[in-house]
């Protein structure tokens, strides 16, 4: 049904329509409204016989998910930021055991310095945890992709994260056609687990595996993820025939065909980016956009095909591998290794720094002229950094930089207002 609704509430309704049997919940901003919404619906008897468990931590949440999924129950949870870190051991267990859990990540920065706002540090920290990771651009996709995520998880017997930008999507009120129960039932078959703990037919899950077989087990994990590269577009197509909406898939081109420059990015920045690129095309630039929707598995071949005609690629991401550069940029470069395309790495929007049409346009005007340094830190206040570096050099026992930079910015603001 078409509603003007908070992103979190839309996701909660979509998940409820997937008939989950167990939901484990521990609150952390900015995902909390999702599990609160689900808890409310379960309490009102709107989610079948679903068990909603308030657990004592994120580690507990994922552990409950592992137990319930292993018995063959459709299982859901959500987390963000430090919550993801705290559950990390269990996150690896879920994928290692092949359990089709669906988890929303309300993408948020990881501290210190403590920061509740959006970037991709949390899901990137779980990049190599062998979960499927799907990114969404808006709240329509957020609702739709959760429905596809359950289908994919259960078809592949792999856990799936749906990554949605914290606040920008989780807290935004927009128009969403929330998937209807009857349509979800047509798309999502009953969960028929590949493996289930059953006292009548005992099995062992989680055996210790030594050097004689560990490589083979890990290879199979990789192989199974690559198989999802076939499932994801197939599911998206089937979803479109039932819901008449294009949601999901591996990647999406927005006027990227036959363009000299292609911006590659993921998530909610796609909307603002489209607007900037449309302006640039109007001004004569040959530039388009490619949005990665399946980050893991990474659609290497599809990316190469989509970028084959480009001269340069500008990878814009809200994540940083400290000491290296862009994380998504590294993936894109690996995919493009055999093509004569130069790829630039741009890191922006960290910790919720606003990404605006103006600052994107300034960056991209440099980008199309090959004037971006490697990597490029978007909208970085270089003067602040220089002052702090100077202070660290000159002051004995200079103390923490985060607090010092805050004081510096506050005094600069006061100066600007009084002058």
Partner 1 sequence: MFQIRIHGRGGQGVVTAAEMLSVAAFEEGRHAQAIPSFGSERMGAPVVAYVRIDDEPIELTEPVLQPDLLIVQDPTLFHAVDVFSGLADDGFLLINSARRLPELHIDDALARLPDHHVYTVAATELAMRHLGRSTPNTALLGAFTALFEMLHIESVIKAINDKFSGDIAQRNIVVARAAHDAARVD
Inter-residue contact 161 to 131 (CB < 8 Å): yes
Is residue 386 close enough to count as binding partner 1 by CB under 8 A? Answer: no
- Cα–Cα distance measured from residue 142 to residue 401, given in angstroms and rounded to the nearest whole number: 37
User: Which residue do the tokens 């089937």 mark?
Assistant: 238
Kindly state the smallest distance separating residue 3's Cβ from partner 1, in Å.
8
- Cα–Cα distance measured from residue 175 to residue 139, given in angstroms and rounded to the nearest whole number: 8
Is residue 131 close enough to count as binding partner 1 by CB under 8 A? Answer: no
- Residues 15-44 close enough to bind partner 1 by CB under 8 A: none
Kindly state the smallest distance separating residue 382's Cβ from partner 1, in Å.
22
Kindly state the smallest distance separating residue 248's Cβ from partner 1, in Å.
18
- Residues 110-129 close enough to bind partner 1 by CB under 8 A: 116-117
Is residue 346 close enough to count as binding partner 1 by CB under 8 A? Answer: no
By DSSP bridging, strand 261-265 and strand 287-292 are parallel
Is residue 171 close enough to count as binding partner 1 by CB under 8 A? Answer: yes
Is residue 268 close enough to count as binding partner 1 by CB under 8 A? Answer: yes
- Cα–Cα distance measured from residue 317 to residue 302, given in angstroms and rounded to the nearest whole number: 19
Which of the stretches 43-51, 77-85, 271-279, 323-331 binds partner 1 when contact is defined by CB under 8 A? Answer: 271-279
Kindly state the smallest distance separating residue 118's Cβ from partner 1, in Å.
10
Q: Which of 174, 195, 253, 286 binds partner 1 (CB under 8 A)?
A: 174
Is residue 358 close enough to count as binding partner 1 by CB under 8 A? Answer: yes
Inter-residue contact 315 to 328 (CB < 8 Å): yes
Provide DSSP, 118-149. Answer: --SHHHHHTTTSS-EEEE-SSHHHHHHHHHHH
Is residue 6 close enough to count as binding partner 1 by CB under 8 A? Answer: yes
User: Which residue do the tokens 């005992």 mark?
Assistant: 202
Is residue 355 close enough to count as binding partner 1 by CB under 8 A? Answer: yes
Is residue 362 close enough to count as binding partner 1 by CB under 8 A? Answer: no
CB of 4 or CB of 49, closer to partner 1: 4
Kindly state the smallest distance separating residue 114's Cβ from partner 1, in Å.
9
Kindly state the smallest distance separating residue 316's Cβ from partner 1, in Å.
14
3-state secondary structure 57-120: CHHHHHHHHHHHHHCCCCEEEEECHHHHHHCHHHHHHHHHCCCCCEEEEEECCCCCCCCCCCCC
By DSSP bridging, strand 132-135 and strand 160-165 are parallel
Is residue 269 close enough to count as binding partner 1 by CB under 8 A? Answer: yes
Kindly state the smallest distance separating residue 354's Cβ from partner 1, in Å.
5
Closest CA to 29 of 405, 352, 354, 355: 352
Is residue 142 close enough to count as binding partner 1 by CB under 8 A? Answer: no
Using CB under 8 A as the criterion, which residues of the chain lie in contact with partner 1 when the complex forms?
3-4, 6, 116-117, 138, 167-168, 171-175, 268-272, 274-275, 354-358, 417
């Amino acid at each position: 049904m078409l509603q003007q609704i908070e992103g979190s509430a839309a996701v909660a309704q979509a998940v409820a329509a997937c008939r989950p049997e167990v939901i484990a919940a521990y609150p952390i901003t900015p995902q909390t409204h999702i599990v609160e919404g689900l808890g409310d619906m379960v309490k009102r008897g709107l989610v079948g016989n679903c068990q909603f468990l308030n657990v004592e931590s994120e580690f507990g949440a994922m552990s409950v998910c592992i137990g319930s999924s292993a018995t063959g129950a459709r299982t859901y949870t959500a987390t963000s930021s430090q919550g993801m870190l705290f559950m990390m051991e269990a996150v690896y267990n879920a994928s290692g055991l092949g359990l089709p859990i669906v988890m929303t990540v309300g993408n948020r920065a990881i501290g210190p310095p403590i920061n509740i706002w959006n970037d991709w540090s949390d899901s990137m920290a779980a990049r190599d945890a062998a979960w499927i990771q799907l990114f969404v651009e808006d709240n329509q996709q957020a609702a739709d992709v959760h429905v596809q995520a359950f289908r994919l998880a259960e078809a592949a017997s792999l856990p799936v994260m749906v990554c949605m930008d914290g606040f920008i999507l989780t807290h935004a009120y927009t128009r969403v056609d929330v998937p209807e129960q009857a349509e979800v039932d047509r798309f999502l078959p009953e969960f028929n687990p590949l493996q289930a703990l059953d006292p009548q037919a005992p099995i062992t899950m989680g055996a210790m595996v030594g050097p004689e077989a560990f490589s083979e087990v890990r290879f199979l994990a990789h192989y199974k993820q690559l198989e999802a590269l076939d499932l994801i577009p197939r599911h998206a197509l089937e979803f479109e025939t039932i819901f008449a909406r294009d949601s999901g898939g591996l990647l999406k081109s927005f006027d990227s065909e036959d363009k000299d420059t292609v911006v590659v990015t993921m998530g909610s920045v796609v909307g603002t980016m489209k607007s900037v690129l449309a302006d640039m095309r109007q001004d004569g630039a040959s530039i388009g956009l490619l949005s990665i929707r399946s980050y893991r598995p990474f659609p290497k071949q599809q990316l190469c095909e989509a970028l084959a005609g480009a001269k340069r690629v500008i990878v814009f991401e809200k994540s940083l591998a400290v000491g290296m550069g862009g994380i998504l940029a590294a993936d894109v470069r690996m995919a493009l290794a055999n093509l004569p395309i130069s790829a630039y790495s741009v890191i922006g929007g960290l910790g919720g720094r606003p990404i605006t049409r103006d600052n994107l346009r300034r960056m991209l005007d440099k980008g199309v002229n090959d004037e971006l340094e490697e990597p490029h830190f978007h909208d970085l206040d270089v003067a602040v950094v220089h002052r702090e570096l100077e202070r660290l050099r000159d002051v004995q026992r200079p103390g923490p930089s985060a607090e010092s930079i805050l004081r510096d910015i506050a005094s600069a603001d006061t100066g600007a207002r009084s002058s």
